[in-house]
Amino acid sequence: MLPFFAIVRLTCRSAIRSNVFRTLLFLLALSVILIPNTIKGDGTATGFIQLILEYSLGFSGAILAISVAWVCCSEIASDVESGQIHMIVVKPVPRAVVLLGKFTGVLVIHAVLLLIASAAVYGFVIYQFMRQDFPTEERQRVESEVLTGRRLIAPDKPDFAKMAEEELKHRLETARLDERQAIEQKLAGDQKRTVLAGIERELRRRNGEVEPGGVLFWKYSGISEENPDPLFLRYKLYAGTDTSKNQETTYGAWLLRFVSRTDRGEEGAEPEYTDNIVSLPPEEIMTRTRDEFGIQDTILRVGGAPDELRRNIPPELMKNLTGQLIREGTFVIGFQNYDREGKKIILQEADGPFLMVRETSFLNNYLRAVFVLFLGIAAVALVSSALAAYFTLPTSVFLAASYGLLCVFAVYLLGSMADMGDDLSMGDRVARALSEGVFFLLIPVRDFFLTTELATGQLIDFARIGHLIFYNLVLRGLPLFLAGMLLYSRRELALAVKR
């Protein structure tokens, strides 16, 4: 193990002497120091703190990802080109240990830099939050919506696949003869899956539409009645169509289900439940903008409770309010469309509405985001080390940059294909298949940048972290690194130096 640690130490020293690394280190310091102290935001406390988190931590992660790619390529490829590698391989040290030591050294120094940068960003966020003269209500909103870790709970969804089968059967039964023949002709061969996919997509779209004057309800399961923390609802509305880029205001009201319990008086008998739907006051809502509100806070505000009580809801009152909203672990909320222009309201499946329940502290959630960012840096190091193990420095840097750009292009292309649905031409189908194949082999590094989730108080759960580790590092990054290690072990170093 002594040769391994010696290579790690020498790699760290060599990286620090690199002029490119020093330049990137200077940019990292600027992003950590200048952004939190110069950013203005949208004038609100929430927007101010969110921008500091997103830009400071995001820029720091991006700079470290670029730095780790360059240092990996430089430390591994340049040693071979300059012939310095011969000073190591003449000793009884396997080349695999050399490559692993250089990879570890680069990762260690960037892990230390990430730790310092993230600690500085966290300190600046807390300092700015305490230093700024924000109103009390805005401070409370920052603490409950940003400086926290809340689990996102999606509403229960029907079995759309089964509904599509039933809808297709209904269409065949009620269609005229010529229409039935046209549908049966489409179902011939391998077209049934495409037809069902189209019907399912249509059902999913209709499931989130609220016609003028209509009401749509959502049900959430697995909610604890004993939860001492407030519940929040996050949503994003569209008016008329979800393809328009214009923001506008609509008008509507949220409806809450209140539950009253009546004991039957018999020992061991279940209580009787009575559901009462209560409408909150109608309000103007900005479309195409993500928004959220505290449910218990809104109930107290509508009920005329003083601001002091809303800012510090006693635990017993919070428990009582939550108990009135939850029935056997379920919570129900609805939306009524009062749009003045008679437009339908659309809530896409990806935009909620989501129920948000506090699960951990901001510091805990922040540490999870930083760890995921470290995993992204490790993924870049795996790819860069594998490329540098066989190619020259310019080639490996070019391929590493191309790898990142190809990943971005594949994500963009797949998103565009998804918007087009399943009715594609042969050329589009080939493009989709190629994009999916390329995307399966690539590591989407941007998935490791969870600064938006962190800045909106969304919990970064361990299931998501485990998914990133297994599917990106273990299944994609590790085999590529092992292949690079194999090529590095068998590479003819004399020929590489001669070239």
Residue 108's Cα: distance from chain center in Å? 26
- Which pLDDT score, from 0 to 100, does residue 201 have? 83
> What is the spatial distance between Cα 108 and Cα 12, in angstroms, rounded to a whole number?
8
Do residues 392 and 81 make contact, with C-beta atoms less than 8 angstroms apart?
A: yes
Flag whether pLDDT at 189 surpasses 60: no
Q: Note the pLDDT tens digit of each residue in 261-302.
A: 777 666 666 777 788 888 999 999 999 888 888 888 888 888
Give the domain-ending residue among 358, 385, 400.
358
CB within 8 Å of 329: residues ≥ 6 apart: 221, 222, 223, 224, 225
Choose among 163, 256, 255, 257: nearest CA to 206. Answer: 163
Q: Each residue of 194-249: pLDDT tens digit?
A: 777 778 888 888 888 999 999 999 999 988 877 778 899 999 999 888 777 778 89
241 and 337 share one domain: yes
Q: Clarify whether residues 213 and 203 are in a common domain.
A: no
d(CA 493, CA 85): 8
Q: Are both 40 and 67 inside the same structural domain?
A: yes
In terms of domains, do 221 and 325 share one?
yes
**What mean pLDDT is predicted for residues 76-95?**
74
Same domain for 227 and 114: no
Tell me which residue has tokens 């108080």. 457
CA distances from 485 to 10, 352, 386 (A): 19, 45, 7
Decide which of 342, 358, 374 is a domain's last residue. 358
* Residues 402, 494 within the same domain: yes
Q: Are 79 and 12 within one domain?
A: yes
Which pair of structure tokens corresponds to residue 214? 């209509």
End-to-end CA distance of the chain: 33
Q: Which of the given ranges, 82-86, 157-161, 184-188, has the highest pLDDT on average?
A: 157-161
Q: Specify the pLDDT at position 227.
A: 76
> What is the reported pTM?
0.85
Please state, in angstroms and rounded to a whole number, the distance separating the CA atoms of residues 444 and 446. 5
Together in a domain, 124 and 32: yes
Q: Look at the chain and count its residues.
A: 499
E strand or H helix at 355: strand 354-360
- pLDDT band for 498, please (50, 70, 90 cuts): very low
Structure tokens at 344: 């339908």
Instruction: Give the position of tokens 């929430």.
Output: 46
> Do 320 and 229 reside in the same domain of the chain?
yes
Count of beta carbons in the 10 Å neighbourhood of residue 428: 13
Rounded Cα distance, 125 and 16, in Å: 29
- Each residue's pLDDT tens digit, 333-389: 999 999 999 999 998 888 879 999 989 999 999 999 999 999 999 999 999 999 998
**Domain end (from 160, 189, 207):** 207
Count of domains observed in the chain: 3
pLDDT at 182 over 70: no
Query: What does 13-77 look like in DSSP terms, one character per residue?
Result: HHHHT-HHHHHHHHHHHHHHHHHHHH--TTSSHHHHHHHHIIIIIHHHHHHHHHHHHHHHHHHHH
Whether residue 198 is found in the same domain as residue 226: no
Q: Both 337 and 227 in a single domain?
A: yes
Q: Which residues pair with 216 in a beta bridge?
A: 335
Residues 194 and 223 in one domain: no
More confident residue, 86 or 54: 54
Full domain range(s) for residue 119: 2-148+362-498
